[in-house]
Amino acid sequence: MKHPSDIDLKVRKGDQAGPLFDALPLYRLFDHFSSGFIPRQQMVHIAKVSGMTTPLLYFVPKLFIRYSLRSIATDIILDDSNLILENHKSINCESLTDDEVLDACSLRGLPCGSDLSFDEMRKLLTNYLVIMEPIHTLIGKDRLLENNGIMFVLHLQAIRLKM
């Protein structure tokens, strides 16, 4: 078993969302170490990053937060699968409407907003799909919908930003 520092991600310059890399070694490492358990404080933080913005978030039952995060991750995984199947990355997501690109970037936690053009957001989404395509191809949508895949999807953007 490899130590996390021994994983070679072959990181290359990326975009505003973080560096680009082959995420398959990271997924395999994550799949190996992840138990699916998230401490409440980390779960609340992931929930806030994922767009759950209620002032009562710290008092909401953990089960509700887990269900909501699973729902968000499932939406990301299913949408990724469709975008990859439709081969949007090869055309830089040009056939998606501006609203679709904004929704897709927002769902994944990619930078979006008035400081970015829709063309820049399309590039961010395309780069994200480049990272995710090998995982969807080799691991498969069904396996990604299991606990470890959901955990990976929820953490991927935070990992990229931290790098």
- Convert the pLDDT of each residue in 22-70 to its tens digit: 888 878 776 665 566 677 787 777 777 777 777 777 788 888 888 888 9
Q: Are 100 and 125 in contact (CB under 8 A)?
A: no
What's the pTM value of the predicted model, to 2 decimals? 0.84
Residue whose C-alpha is closest to residue 70's, from 159, 154, 142, 132 = 154
pLDDT digits (tens, 9 = 90+) for 107-152: 998 998 889 999 999 999 999 999 999 999 999 999 999 878 888 8
Report the DSSP beta bridge partners of residue 18.
Answer: 15
